Structure 1
């Protein structure tokens, strides 16, 4: 017998041995559904989508085990209409506190909100509530002019005025957004530049920090274009836009 024939016989023997030993094992694994394609459906089901990850991060603000809800309020908007918290039920909305003659942070906040407005201008389930902390001078007529100057057109964006004490109380205890009268503030007033995000049922929602605690607010002063302020704080308008979309889809 030639040498090549011995080689063929050896290869055939190895193939036969492989079939006897391994093929039954492969068949058994298939029957028991233990063969998993890492690029197939099993892996896709196991991994949540990016939206699911973000949705889980939108926590409720809880105080003494109770989810914090927007308290009752009733104020007058730029069109002279009475607006209450009930007008926002079923809508996802952003809350801020400002005044029309503010020379510092308010113009920047309003511009960022107008940008958000444009993103959701066709969505009737979106809204914004801007409360004036200087209502004595911010009459409906003044608020109307402010709205026109900034391009505020969304029908669910209400610029609200009323009794100063009630608005300040709403800010400080209802939303935990600082508002106050101070001697060294702009025109005697000071306030936070943060935005609050409210879901369709009137609950305050936010992402969580690295420790799992709700962040509560979104920085409203830094624009997407600026990316970061002089203190190294990153902009959160992009984050807010994404989280509005998540709540609208709930």
Structure 2
């Protein structure tokens, strides 16, 4: 090896040594002071920002195969004849129900309870309700409009939606696993769950957890706060209102 080559290697080693002395301590200080954030390699979703800022509440996510369950995509016509999709609810906390206007049993109770919930959040522009009819052949936008008026619905984010029967049933039974179906022997010709689903601002299904740490997933919608309990069923509207409040703060 020539003397010239030896000098070159010595020079490179000297530069590396100087770099280590000057810059490595600064890099370590930046890491300690959290100037370099790990989130640079993560997707900057709203959910990520919530988790990093510590604003996520104690509300549970519904997880299926390790993935947080989101509301499926949907697009229907509301009581004003406008097309409403799941994207219209992004940025809002909202409650989901499946009902029909001629229901002679649980639907009137559910609607009155949701109006009560609506009235608790009058000043919140980012709260809404999604009501899907399971009898779209009868429940036209005009019928839904009249129904909403009769029950005192005033929230502009409360949409009563109708569309293709197959799409609505798929959304209920597969999208939310809230049962809905035709039954000639049932009062009104249909049967369905009286449960409500609660959705956060990012479109995730949320709920509180039970005493074993498992998400409750749904809220019973047929017993009012005034009734407290009926046929052994305790009211969960108070619980729903409390949990909506938590999600609005996220």
TM-score when scaled to structure 2? 0.77
In structure 2, what is the equivalent of residue 55 of structure 1?
57
2: CA distance, partners of 1:71 / 1:104: 28
Task: Classify the secondary structure of the residue corresponding to 1:115.
Answer: helix
In structure 2, what is the equivalent of residue 243 of structure 1?
243
Q: Deviations over 1:109-132 (max 9, x none)?
A: 000000011111221100000000
2: CA distance, partners of 1:112 / 1:190: 19
Within the alignment, does 1:225 sit opposite 2:190 as a pair? no
Alignment of 1:166-205 (within 5 A): 166-205=167-206
In structure 1, what is the equivalent of residue 161 of structure 2?
160
Aligned alpha-carbon RMSD (Å): 1.3
Q: Deviations over 1:188-215 (max 9, x none)?
A: 2100000000000000001111211111
1: CA distance, partners of 2:161 / 2:146: 13
**Deviation of 1:187 (Å):** 2.5
2: CA distance, partners of 1:115 / 1:77: 21
Task: Classify the secondary structure of the residue corresponding to 1:239.
Answer: helix
2: CA distance, partners of 1:173 / 1:121: 32
2: CA distance, partners of 1:94 / 1:239: 13
In structure 1, what is the equivalent of residue 73 of structure 2?
72
**Deviation of 1:170 (Å):** 0.2
Unmatched tracts of structure 1, length 5 or more: 1-51
Alignment of 1:1-250 (within 5 A): 55-56=57-58, 58-230=59-231, 232-250=232-250
Q: Deviations over 1:63-94 (max 9, x none)?
A: 00010000000000000000000000000000
2: CA distance, partners of 1:133 / 1:121: 27
2: CA distance, partners of 1:183 / 1:160: 23
1: CA distance, partners of 2:84 / 2:122: 20
Runs of 4+ in 1 over 6 A off after TM superposition: none
2: CA distance, partners of 1:209 / 1:245: 18
In structure 2, what is the equivalent of residue 45 of structure 1?
none
1: CA distance, partners of 2:108 / 2:244: 22
2: CA distance, partners of 1:137 / 1:199: 31
Task: Classify the secondary structure of the residue corresponding to 1:208.
Answer: coil
In structure 1, what is the equivalent of residue 41 of structure 2?
none
